[in-house]
Chains A and B, each alone.
Chain A
Amino acid sequence: MKTVEGLKYSKEHEWVKVDGNKAYIGITDHAQNSLGEIVFVELPETGAELNSGDVLGVVESVKAASDVYTPVSGVVAEVNEELEESPEKINEAPYESWIAVLELSDLSELDKLLDAGEYEKYCKEEA
């Protein structure tokens, strides 16, 4: 499994890339790998106000559907519409295929997330 240094990770296998008060959110390589070929992504509506732990979207393979939870709170500023046409991008490049951008309302939430090393360790323990 791959991780990228500098990103934040959640125990539900989402990654967060922080850019000022904006956060790009996607699912990790580990998550896409265990789902298999991704066939559909349900995106949130822009403008939606989400608390950390709320459902951000749904990622589906042929035989599984997995809710994606936002690890941080904020307002959905942008969604990655490209994934509607090409959901397989998540398989091909999980760390480039963000699902949505949130305008963060509480930067301190980021401190609770894992860094790449911690996340890798967590995945190993989980297995």
Chain B
Amino acid sequence: MKKKDKSLIFEMSVPGRKAVTLPDCDVPYTDISNLIPGKFIRETEAELPEVSEVDAVRHYTRLSQMNYGVDSGFYPLGSCTMKYNPKVNEDMANLDGFAKVHPYQPEETVQGCLELLYETDRMLSEITGMDRVSLQPAAGAHGEMTGLMIIKAYHENRGDFKRKKIIVPDSAHGTNPASAAITGFDVSEVKSDERGGVDIEALKSLMNDEVAGLMLTNPNTLGLFEENIVKIAEVVHAAGGLLYYDGANANAIVGISRPGDMGFDVVHLNLHKTFSTPHGGGGPGSGPVGVKKDLIPFLPEPVIEKNESGYYLDYNRPLSIGKVRSFYGNFGVVVKAYAYICSLGANGFKDVAQTSVLNANYIMHKLKEYYKLPYDRICMHEVVFSGQKQKDMGASTLDIAKRLLDYGYHPPTIYFPLIVKEALMIEPTETESKETLDEFIDAMIKISEEIKEEPEKVKGAPYTTSVLRLDEAKAARDPKLIHTQ
């Protein structure tokens, strides 16, 4: 019989054990029942863990060892820009003058924080070609939501209440339609043409005076630049709509081309992608939103302004959409992005874009004889293959991804975008060396050979991880979301 798994923190608890000793109470002690009426007091104690400090440290260290981060190895997860997260940025965010500052401190005691936010706004505006940036949204999806609210508020302020529709391409991230829906828009999908871009004729036929705007990722989720972007902007603007830039793929164009110059009116960026802040296992991120001049009045409040006596928070913004989050956003994340921008400087961004695009094209070139390339043209910072050939031989894209785990890699994004069957979306980023790319390419080739020879082996992968393939159907059918004794 197998040894019973007792690896949850709750299963390690021993009554009476503790990890922290708090100081004795140094003020006169009054029994809690004399401070707070009994009917407001908890009936049963919250069963939190009872472990020692060393138990806790070993537990979480063991958990960390079952994880894979960018520092562990290559992480070519398409659309997520898993670049290296510079260590010094972490140190900067942990400085007492940033980490130990209360959000409601008087403005004169937080001039450094306000300066940092103000300067980040200015620098991101320059990078995107926009006029003003709000750092309040906490993530990319939150930025989308904020940007769409701004678009709606702008139209309504013009007295135009009939624009209830947002257009998204069929290759869009799922967040685009979801963000449009929660901000009260109806969603129409525009199809892609045979080169992978927006089908201009289809777009024209969708445009009318009910369309509030078009959301576009550029380069799009196929890793392809919208060649017709100028025309697209014309079509949308001519019908009175606004153009929204989803910054998920901004890494390909920083320092080379700016959404503002392409005709976009609203932009969101992901600081956790393009600006190197770590993903934290799924957050915290930060999704700043930039706008053109006419839309500035609608930005979330407060906006950071500057006058002769210093920086201040401006709440006097009658047309603002309001607040989308408490305080001023994920400040600690913004500190890291600010440090990154300062490290790269005026010339660094172009190098980032060029190298990320070069790395992706290198992978595309080396792998296209092994994997089907649905759009055979120069790509930007990521390349989308299809595992269709391998699927026909008996191993799916999921199997390829799982087999990569045995080779020590984080797999690419799979089954996205939806318009490519068996999609494998590879984004190497600029922070990977040629040697790393070559090794990864070799592993991908080896897997394609394994599929020819023994597909069963690939289908059984992974073999080397802390757990093997997990039963996701069981998890969903009979949800067990918390531990019960």
Contacts and interface: CB of A to CB of B under 8 A. Distances in A.
Nearest to B472: A62
Interface string A66-107: 000000000000000000000110000000000000000000
B411 to A, nearest CB: 16
B473 to A, nearest CB: 4
Contacts of A37: 473
A27 B472 CA distance: 22
Interface in B406-425: 415
Binding site secondary structure of chain B: helix
**Chain B contact patch, size range:** under 10
B476 interface: yes
B4 interface: no
A40 interface: yes
Contacts of B476: 39-40, 60, 62
Binding site secondary structure of chain A: loop
B392 to A, nearest CB: 15
A37 B473 CA distance: 7
Interface in B440-485: 472-473, 476-477
Interface in B202-234: none
Nearest to A37: B473
Contacts of A39: 473, 476-477
A61 B476 CA distance: 8
Contacts of A40: 476-477
A37 B472 CA distance: 10
Contacts of A60: 476
Interface string A52-70: 0000000011110000000
Nearest to B474: A39
Given A39-B476, A40-B476, A62-B476, 11 more contacts: A37-B473, A39-B473, A39-B477, A40-B477, A60-B476, A61-B473, A62-B472, A62-B473, A63-B415, A87-B477, A88-B477
Q: Which 7 A-B pairs have the closest CB atoms?
A: A39-B476, A37-B473, A39-B477, A62-B472, A62-B476, A39-B473, A62-B473
14 contacts: A37-B473, A39-B473, A39-B476, A39-B477, A40-B476, A40-B477, A60-B476, A61-B473, A62-B472, A62-B473, A62-B476, A63-B415, A87-B477, A88-B477
Interface of B: 415, 472-473, 476-477
